[in-house]
């Protein structure tokens, strides 16, 4: 090899390695069997989506609380969580921010032959609730019931627990209805169970017609600014990945093992509900609606869910610089 050829090879080696070094690493905390895993797998499976601007490192977290701890400790750069939590952190001086991921929310589900047809029919019944007393859907369902002069908290026998446990309670007829997260509700629907109302329906009943995302990507605002190009590329890739999972059967087939759904009816309803959660609009109207939801939740929980801040904190929603 001539000296010039060697020099050219060296330059190419240095150039390619410098490029690799500049590629931003995005460390994302991912819950097992969560829908975020579907989109990230779709990105990694598609060279057109897995761009040169970022490199994904997926770090497993046991549950939502573990993800929050990992984010706050700096073990991950990003998780999927809710904007109420983000606002409460910003009220303490933290700079976390939120970008919408999904509009899909929980649902009230009963057996197909259940006499329960409306919220009023819950009176005197046994209700299983995924999460705890401060679950947002539970709080908002109570608010909707109050509009019809029904005190749900006093008139139902409540059972709180993790979503899989709550699903089993309904299957074993230990409760008459459950309020659970959307993908657990979808699995029941595939088995013949019936949905009474979902999170969107609850909000509409409370006078909020805008589609406000329940969960989104949460990361430090300062980190987002420092990694703006990579972050923007990633967010664009996630939208394209969701679109392809909803429009391309071949792309959907690749991630079916991640859904842990072995039968076609469950796979079909999971895909349907997942795709219904696509963010079609996210602007001032939706963010103003989120502020109204915040005020409602603050009043209903006496600050226990939102923290002491009277209003949704500025900067809660990520605005690209």
CATH of the domain at 172: 3.40.190.10
Q: Is 277 domain-assigned?
A: no
Q: Are residues 128 and 186 in the same domain?
A: yes
Q: How far apart are CA 84 and CA 135, in angstroms?
A: 11
Specify the pLDDT at position 14.
38
First vs last Cα of the chain: how many Å apart? 49
Specify the pLDDT at position 267.
97
Domain that holds residue 195: 107-205
Q: Is 316 domain-assigned?
A: no
Q: Is 319 domain-assigned?
A: no
Q: Is 30 domain-assigned?
A: yes
Q: How far apart are CA 140 and CA 84, in angstroms?
A: 14
Q: Are residues 146 and 88 in the same domain?
A: no
Q: Are residues 98 and 116 in the same domain?
A: no
Q: Is 4 domain-assigned?
A: no
Q: Are residues 117 and 51 in the same domain?
A: no
Using one digit for the tens of pLDDT, what is the confidence trace for 121-167?
Answer: 999 999 999 988 999 999 999 999 999 899 999 999 999 999 999 99
CA-based nearest residue to 300, from 187, 171, 206: 206
Q: Are residues 99 and 222 in the same domain?
A: yes
Distances (CA, A) of 143 to 146, 147, 154, 201, 288: 5, 7, 13, 13, 20
At a CB cut-off of 8 Å and minimum separation 6, what does 263 contact? 190
Q: Collapsing DSSP states into helix, strand and coil, what is residue 94? A: coil
Q: Are residues 99 and 220 in the same domain?
A: yes
Q: Crossing angle for the helix pair 249-259 and 35-45, nearest 10 degrees?
A: 130
Specify the pLDDT at position 11.
38
Q: Are residues 90 and 138 in the same domain?
A: no
* CA-derived radius of gyration, the chain: 22
CA-based nearest residue to 233, from 45, 78, 51, 76: 51
Q: Are residues 240 and 291 in the same domain?
A: yes
Using one digit for the tens of pLDDT, what is the confidence trace for 82-125?
Answer: 999 999 999 999 999 999 999 998 999 999 999 999 999 999 99
Q: Are residues 120 and 46 in the same domain?
A: no
Q: Are residues 41 and 72 in the same domain?
A: yes
Number of compact structural domains in the chain: 2
**183 pLDDT higher than 50:** yes
- How many residues appear in the chain? 321
Q: Is 10 domain-assigned?
A: no
Q: In which residue are the tokens 């000296």 written?
A: 3
Q: Is 318 domain-assigned?
A: no
Q: Is 228 domain-assigned?
A: yes
Q: Are residues 99 and 244 in the same domain?
A: yes
* pTM metric for this prediction: 0.89
Q: Are residues 84 and 224 in the same domain?
A: yes
């Amino acid at each position: 090899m001539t000296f010039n050829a060697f020099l050219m090879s060296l330059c190419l080696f240095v150039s390619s390695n410098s490029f690799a070094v500049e590629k931003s690493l995005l460390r994302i905390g991912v819950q097992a069997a969560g829908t975020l895993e579907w989109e990230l797998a779709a990105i990694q499976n598609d060279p057109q989506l897995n761009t040169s601007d970022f490199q994904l490192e997926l770090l497993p977290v046991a549950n939502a609380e573990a993800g929050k701890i990992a984010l706050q400790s700096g073990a991950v750069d990003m998780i999927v969580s809710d904007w109420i939590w983000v606002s409460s952190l910003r009220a303490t001086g933290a700079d976390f921010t939120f970008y919408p991921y999904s509009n899909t929310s929980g649902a009230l589900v009963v057996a197909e032959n259940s006499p329960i047809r409306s919220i009023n029919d819950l009176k005197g019944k046994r209700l299983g609730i995924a999460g705890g007393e401060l679950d947002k859907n539970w709080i908002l369902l109570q608010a909707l019931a109050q509009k019809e002069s029904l005190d749900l908290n006093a008139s139902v026998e409540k059972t709180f627990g993790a979503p899989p446990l709550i699903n089993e309670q309904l299957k074993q007829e230990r409760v008459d209805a459950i309020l659970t997260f959307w993908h657990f509700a979808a699995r029941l629907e595939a088995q013949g169970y019936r949905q009474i109302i979902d999170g969107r329906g609850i909000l509409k009943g409370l006078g909020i017609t805008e589609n406000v995302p329940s969960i989104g990507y949460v990361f430090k605002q300062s980190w987002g600014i420092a990694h703006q190009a990579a972050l923007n590329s990633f967010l664009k890739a996630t939208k394209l990945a969701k679109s392809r999972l909803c429009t391309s059967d071949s792309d959907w087939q690749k991630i079916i093992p991640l859904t842990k759904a072995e039968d076609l009816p469950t796979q079909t309803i999971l895909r349907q509900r997942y795709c219904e959660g696509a963010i079609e609009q996210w602007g001032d109207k939706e963010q103003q609606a989120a502020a109204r939801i915040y005020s409602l939740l603050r009043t209903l929980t006496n600050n226990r869910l939102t923290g002491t801040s009277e209003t949704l904190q500025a900067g809660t929603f990520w605005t690209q610089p």
